[in-house]
Structures are given as structure tokens and as C-alpha cells.
Amino acid sequence: MTYNMHILTFDIEDWYNCDFISEDFNWDKYEVRIYEGVERILFELERRNQKGTFFCLGWIAEKHPDIIRQIHRQGHHIGCHSYQHELAFRFTKEQFIEDTLKSKYLIEDIIGEKVNAFRAPGFSITENNIWALEALSEMGFEYDCSLFPAEHDYGGFKSYGKSEPAKIILSNGAFIKEFPINIQKVFGKNIVFSGGGFFRFFPYCLIRFWAKQSPYIMTYFHPRDFDPCQPMIKSLPAMRKFKSYIGLKHSFSKFQHLLNDFDFVNIEQANEMVDWDNVRKIKL
């Protein structure tokens, strides 16, 4: 199948919701910037009548339910981004289910609808923890967006092959609809230009050039990607620090350019565009 599919997604977490800060998850003590960050995104999407998928952290749903309500009120599709932003492969299957269900139920209680889409923090569903996909199906998720279809610092899912949607057939015969991230080879390294640090780092003309050449684009923006005033986490390793804080000043205008130059859909709209009977199938 050939695609012309650009999917707009966001991971809704605050600047401190990451694995390098406060191992005890005592996150309450940090400056809350999520309201401002989400409002900036929602305002931009509303004036364009643009819909996205928002993968929300359960911790945010618990502490700041108004954020989830606001996103839902604007008619966006809401997914789950785990409860405490732990990498999926650091959990046992049982712990993964516990963390994910906690988040799923928190979000569902707020929006009054079933949550059917999931993205693991850091694309952390890899060939070493495929049980996570089975667990997601068992928990009632229809879509997964956690795979990095090449080698990655965290392992990746090289055998997935192409960056395009596929039906993953699980060992129990059930399936999950996968929308992976899209990757770009730069100097021999697989990178993601459609969100996060590399989106902020590379000039927009290059982002646009790569995007034009990609039949399938899966974006993943965070409120902090557009927040030049966020506090800096001093303890981050140098590379991570660079990736976290590069290009914050101009990233929002790059995002606006991207929305001008490409037509985007959310996961549910993308689902309608895929011929699931004839799509590539991957057996686990």
C-alpha cells in the first residue's frame, strides 16, 4: 500500500515527568507548566479546526484532570501514555498492566469514554518485550503507537521494517493496529524528525524536505517542546540535555509552518484511511 498519511499526536506530560528526575515520583514539588503548554497547542489547533491524538500521562490525569477535560472538550482523540512514564521494558508484564490500567481508568473516568490508543514512553516496546503488545490487546486497546521500527538506543523493533501502519497478529490470534513512528536515516543513524529534539534541532527547510519525501509521518510533540521558559534539569546527561533544550525558541513557529504545509489527521481518522484487510500483517 502507498500512503499519504500525516498523523498529528502529542504526548501530554510536564517538563519534569521523565525518568531522569525524582526517582521517587515526588513530582508535586516542581513548577507546573502543563496548563500553559497545553493551552498553547489547543489554541493553535482550534483556530485551524485541526484534530490530533493526545497521549496523556495518567499522573497528569490524576493531578490535573482539567487538562484532560479541556483537550477532550475540543474534540480531540485521547490516548494513554502510561501512568508514571516508566519505560515499558523495565516492568514485568504484571507491573506493566497495573501501571497502564491505572492510567487508562483515570483518563476514562474524566472523559467518560473508553481509551483505545496507547503510546509507551520512549518507544519502549521492543523485540524483547513483545508481551506488552499482548497485554495492551488484553486491556482493550485497539491502537498502539509505541514502536520504533529500526534499531534504537532502547532497542527498537527492527523486524517491523517499514514505517507504515500494520496489523500485528498476536500469539492468541487477536491483533493490534500499529501506527509506528517514522524514521529518517541521517549519517547512518535512524532519527525521528517529526517531534522532540530533532524537530527542534534541524532547520525547518530540512524537516519539510524529509516530510515531503515521507509517505507516512507520525508526529510526537510535547508541550515542553514549545516552552522556552521551562526550568532546566541540571542532572541530565550532556546529550540528553542538548536534546531537551535545543531550539526551544523557534520550535512553535516551525510547528505552525508544518501545520500550514501538510494536512494532518488524528489516529482515528488515520484508522479510516487504512484498508485493514489488505494491510501488511506481522505475526509475533
Residues of this chain that interact with Zn ion (CB under 5 A) are 11, 13, 121
Strands 184-186, 143-144: parallel, antiparallel or unpaired by DSSP? Answer: unpaired
Return the number of the residue (13 or 144) whose C-beta is nearest Zn ion: 13
Each residue of 91-109: b (16+ CB within 10 Å) or e? Answer: beeeebbebbbbbbebbee
Compute the distance between CA of residue 255 and CA of residue 58 in angstroms, rounded to an integer.
Answer: 26
Q: Which is nearer to Zn ion, 14 or 274 (CB)?
A: 14
Taking CB positions, which residue lies at the least distance from Zn ion?
A: 11
* Shortest Cβ 41–Zn ion spacing (Å): 15
Work out how close the CB of 13 gets to Zn ion at its nearest, in angstroms, rounded to a whole number.
Answer: 5
CA 208 to centroid of chain Cα atoms:
20
- Taking phi over 0 as left and psi of -120 to 50 as alpha, with beta for the rest, 255 belongs to alpha
Which residue, 72 or 222, is less far from Zn ion as judged by CB? 222
The type of residue at 223 is P
CB closer to Zn ion, 149 vs 196? 196
Least gap, CB of 21 to Zn ion (angstroms): 13
CB of 11: closest distance to Zn ion in angstroms? 4
Based on CB atoms, which residue is closest to Zn ion, 11 or 227? 11
Q: In the chain, how long is the greatest CA-to-CA distance?
A: 50
Least distance from C-beta 104 to Zn ion, angstroms? 16
